[in-house]
Structure 1
Amino acid sequence: MTLLIVALAIVFIVLTIAVISKTQTLLKGVKGSSEQNDEVVDSANNLNAIGLLVFWILSVIGVFWSFFYAKKDFLIAFGDIPSAASVHGKETDYWFWVSMVVVTAAFILVNSVLFYFPVKYRYDKNRKAHYYPHNNTLEIVWTLIPAVVMAALVFTGLRVWNKVMADAPKDAEIIEIMGKQFGWQVRYGGVENGKLGNYNYKLIDDAAGNEFGLDFSDENSFDDFTSSTEMHIPKGKPVLLKIRARDVLHSVFIPHMRVKMDAVPGMPTKFWFIADKSTADMRAELGNPDFKYEIACTEVCGRSHFGMKLILVVDEPADYEKWKKEQKSLLASKPEFLEKVPAGLKAKALKYFPTEAPADSTTASAGTSLPTVSALR
């Protein structure tokens, strides 16, 4: 690719020098006879016209060569490249290629005519120009056809977008993902009720481990569990991502799923999708046992933006449910948060703890002692 760009640049420089040289010759010949001027003009126009046509042909060859050369690095399905790993992603890819075909065809057609005309209609002293100022029919045709084609592309894309931005199905798995400099935090609603508990930004306390600002006065938060290393989702089931940011603007990007949505401070966003290829499926399809889905940030958010990523694991439904049951709730992993639970709800909160807590249980900070679970009963 680099060599091709260098070659085209050299061709461009040579043609520029040739044009300048011929222009100077043309200017010098202005004082001569009309016959001499016609010969100079013809020579210059022929060189320019042929040079432009050669440049266009080489450009088209270069564009198609670079396309097929880079095909192995494509993410969007083409030839032997795997298709998207989500249901809506396959539809997105289809309309992407439809748009590419339409735009590429129009580009080649229009520019081929543009570069052909300097050859076809270059200066000829024996030809008279035809005065053709206006044609209403032609104006309507070349305005209406592109307008209809572009409107069709826009509205088909809008239909797909509205589908994924509509309310998620009622049986969707609800997962919250929160961006902060420079990492992703994931929260699940637990196994008991699957509902996410309330949060309040005023309750955020990184030192204590409450990075989400969970409100433990809401019993739905008792079984919530979190992760900062990976996100698990089930294959074949709708997943609703509730997205928010804690500091600056971030953007959730799951390339293989065709998911991208900004995470905006103070303005929760969402995106739902259905993954139809598990991590194991994709590894088998690619023949790469080390393949991993990733979640990246695609909004420049600071110095370490480039390293802001999270591993996404797509499990079979049974494996996903098993994994969820193995997770420990934030409340159980941080017993000191029991102090935040209202007295009337402590009995419910204790269901998420072992029957007996170690006698020397202490808080993770400030060295203050925390009562055992038995004492709280």
Structure 2
Amino acid sequence: MTLLIVILAVVFLVLTIMVISKTQTLLKGVKGSSESEVEDAMTDGANNANAIGLFVFWIVSVIGMVWSFNYAKKDFLMAFGDLPTASSTHGKETDYWFWFGMAVITIAFVLVNTVLFYFPLKYRYNKDRKAYFYPHNNTLEIVWTLIPAIVMAGLVFTGLRVWNRVMSDAPKDAEVIEIMGKQFGWQVRYGGNDDGKLGNYSYKLINDAEGNEFGLDFTDENSFDDFTSNTEIHIPKGKPVLLKIRARDVLHSVFIPHMRVKMDAVPGMPTKFWFVAEKSTADMRAELGNPDFKYEIACTEVCGRSHFAMKLTLIVDEPADYEKWKKEQKSLLATKPEFIEKVPANLKAKAMKYIMPESATTASNDTTTTAASL
């Protein structure tokens, strides 16, 4: 890139010298001529040089654009290069319409600017040519207004249709997972294995020292089986996943590049995004031939000094593996049994089975045996 800039600078310098030299030659060649002849000669020379120079500039620019596109496409996030096509259902549609829009805009840009740079060359000053007076044409006005309007309206309404579908309510069978951003990391909460529902929370209950970073409300029995993670997030392949997103301190933004997922995490204003992952982590490793490949969740909202390090590993499991992994997780109540003190008296018996599941099972069996003997 540095070499290209140096070459362009040299070309610009050479052209400047040529223009100055040509101007000096014209001035010397017209000495002794009438003032009108001198003026005509200078005007012809300047217009020719400018017109040709402009068109050459446009040709060089087009070549430069094509070269830069091919040079940089290996680093593109979407359909080209090292990163594969989208790994989510909506992501493929998003990519398609992105590149469709880019193609339409590029074609219009090249056509309009080609005409713009060609006209100064074709219609440069000529003393033997008379200008054609063309004040107005209603048909022409309608054509060049209507065609761009139809094209732009088509792009806008197509994009709106895709946006409405992507941002619609998640299916009822979606796996609901909460992801919370805080300086400088992501934390994840699942609804547990029993009810699959996320329990209530309150920012007033957040206490990092006690281990209640989510501010779970243990007066809500749906919180009893909730479990959390701050090292990785698991989701099932082929099933809708609804991410409930929030932030604890400043603005963050959930970004899963391979899934084409991006949604801001705003303090005090929960957001959401649902998607369907089509490729498991194992599928991607096989497709890329990279046994170390990992999906990643990053933060794309500058949130402080360590923003760059705010990442979380995303693991897409086969459905059976995902259910197996969930069953292996311990609820927050089981890892922090002292939270039983926050449970209302009438719910303590229900909460105890998450703290001492074996005891609860034994007690249940004893009760059943006693009832049977009676």
TM-score (norm 2): 0.90
1:35-74 counterparts in 2 under 5 A? 35-74=37-76
Distance 1:344 1:24, change over 3 A: farther
Q: State which drifts further: 132-141 or 185-194.
A: 132-141
For 2:349, give the aligned amino acid. Answer: A
1:210-225 counterparts in 2 under 5 A? 210-225=212-227
Shift of 1:78: 3.6
Give, in whole Å, the separation in 1 of the partners of 2:100 and 2:7: 32
* CA shift digits 1:151-206 (9 cap, x unpaired): 11111111111111111000000000111111111110011111000000000011
Distance 1:39 1:199, change over 3 A: same
Give, in whole Å, the separation in 1 of the partners of 2:168 and 2:84: 27
Structure 2 spans left out of the alignment, 5+ residues: 360-374
Give, in whole Å, the separation in 2 of the partners of 1:13 and 1:134: 42
Give, in whole Å, the separation in 2 of the partners of 1:242 and 1:355: 29
Give, in whole Å, the separation in 2 of the partners of 1:35 and 1:119: 22
1:26–1:37 CA contact under 8 A, matched in 2 = no
Q: 1:238 aligns with which of 227, 233, 240?
A: 240
Give, in whole Å, the separation in 2 of the partners of 1:174 and 1:25: 79
Q: 1:133 aligns with which of 129, 132, 135?
A: 135
Q: Percent identity?
A: 82
For 2:62, give the aligned amino acid. Answer: V
1:251–1:261 CA contact under 8 A, matched in 2 = yes
TM-score (norm 1): 0.89
Q: State which drifts further: 308-317 or 20-29.
A: 20-29
1:287-326 counterparts in 2 under 5 A? 287-326=289-328
For 1:291, give the aligned amino acid. Answer: F
Tell me, yes or no, if structure 1 residue 8 matches structure 2 residue 26: no
Give, in whole Å, the separation in 1 of the partners of 2:11 and 2:242: 53
- Per the alignment, residue 369 of structure 1 pairs with none
2:232–2:315 CA contact under 8 A, matched in 1 = yes
Q: 1:189 aligns with which of 171, 188, 191?
A: 191
Shift of 1:282: 1.0
Q: 2:178 aligns with which of 160, 176, 182?
A: 176
Q: Secondary structure at the match of 2:160?
A: helix
1:203–1:214 CA contact under 8 A, matched in 2 = yes
1:25–1:40 CA contact under 8 A, matched in 2 = no
Give, in whole Å, the separation in 2 of the partners of 1:27 and 1:204: 83
Shift of 1:12: 4.2
How many residues end up aligned between the 2 structures?
357
- Could you say what the CA RMSD is over the residues aligned between the two structures, in angstroms? 2.3
Distance 1:73 1:350, change over 3 A: same
Q: Secondary structure at the match of 1:160?
A: helix
Q: Secondary structure at the match of 1:44?
A: helix
Q: 2:277 aligns with which of 265, 275, 278?
A: 275
Q: Secondary structure at the match of 2:159?
A: helix
Distance 1:342 1:12, change over 3 A: farther
2:206–2:215 CA contact under 8 A, matched in 1 = yes
Give, in whole Å, the separation in 1 of the partners of 2:59 and 2:333: 67
Q: 2:148 aligns with which of 146, 161, 164?
A: 146
Q: State which drifts further: 226-235 or 34-43.
A: 34-43
Q: Secondary structure at the match of 2:249?
A: coil
For 1:7, give the aligned amino acid. Answer: I
Give, in whole Å, the separation in 1 of the partners of 2:23 and 2:341: 87
Q: 2:101 aligns with which of 82, 99, 102?
A: 99
Distance 1:95 1:325, change over 3 A: same
- Per the alignment, residue 345 of structure 1 pairs with 347
After TM superposition, where is structure 1 displaced by more than 6 Å over at least 4 residues in a row?
A: 20-31
For 2:203, give the aligned amino acid. Answer: Y
Structure 1 spans left out of the alignment, 5+ residues: 358-377
2:297–2:313 CA contact under 8 A, matched in 1 = yes
Give, in whole Å, the separation in 2 of the partners of 1:327 and 1:63: 53
Q: Secondary structure at the match of 2:225?
A: coil
Distance 1:81 1:349, change over 3 A: closer
For 1:308, give the aligned amino acid. Answer: M
Give, in whole Å, the separation in 1 of the partners of 2:177 and 2:13: 57
Distance 1:66 1:94, change over 3 A: same
* CA shift digits 1:121-140 (9 cap, x unpaired): 11111111122222221111
Q: 1:330 aligns with which of 318, 325, 332?
A: 332
Give, in whole Å, the separation in 1 of the partners of 2:306 and 2:23: 53
Give, in whole Å, the separation in 1 of the partners of 2:16 and 2:63: 21
